[in-house]
Amino acid sequence: MKLPPSVAEFLAGKRIGVAGVSRDPRQTANFIYRKLRDSGYEVVPVNPAADEVEGARCYPDLASAPGPLDGLVVVTPPAAGIELVRQCAEMGVPRVWFHRAFGAGSLSRNAVRECEARGITCIAGGCPYMYLEPVDPAHRCLRWILGWTGQLPG
């Protein structure tokens, strides 16, 4: 599968944060966290309301997470996005992926503009699940639909 350039660049990172992971393992952010982890990435969970998720220490913000991050997947309400982008800028995180399938998802136009203003590469929509092998049929279909409608990020 040929990856869009921004997706290939994002997934070339080795250490990725996931903002929005929850103590509830059924949440979308947790599925993304596990998929990245199971695909060989070092994944850092971020949620100010949790000390531990998925058996790992969880960090309240990016400044609390040890070491640099190559990217951040945002799976939060859209209003949290702009603050997360500011944290990325302060911590030198060069890439942000705002999760979205249908509807608004985590996407905030203000947060995307903040990425642009701060020189952070931004993927506005879609999901890492659409690209991390093996891609399940639902995400393969989602990737096709988003591509067909011209909404595929990258």
- What structural domains does the chain harbor? 5-148 (3.40.50.720)
Strands 52-53, 56-57: pairing is antiparallel
The pTM for the full model equals: 0.93
Tokens found for residue 45: 């969970």
What are the distances in angstroms from CA 131 to CA 37, 50, 88? 14, 28, 23
pLDDT tens-digit readout, 18-46: 999 999 999 999 999 999 999 999 999 99
pLDDT tens-digit readout, 94-148: 999 999 866 667 889 999 999 999 999 999 988 998 999 999 898 888 888 888 8
- Cα distance between residue 20 and residue 106, in whole Å: 10
- Cα distance between residue 65 and residue 57, in whole Å: 10
pLDDT tens-digit readout, 65-92: 999 999 999 999 999 999 999 999 999 9
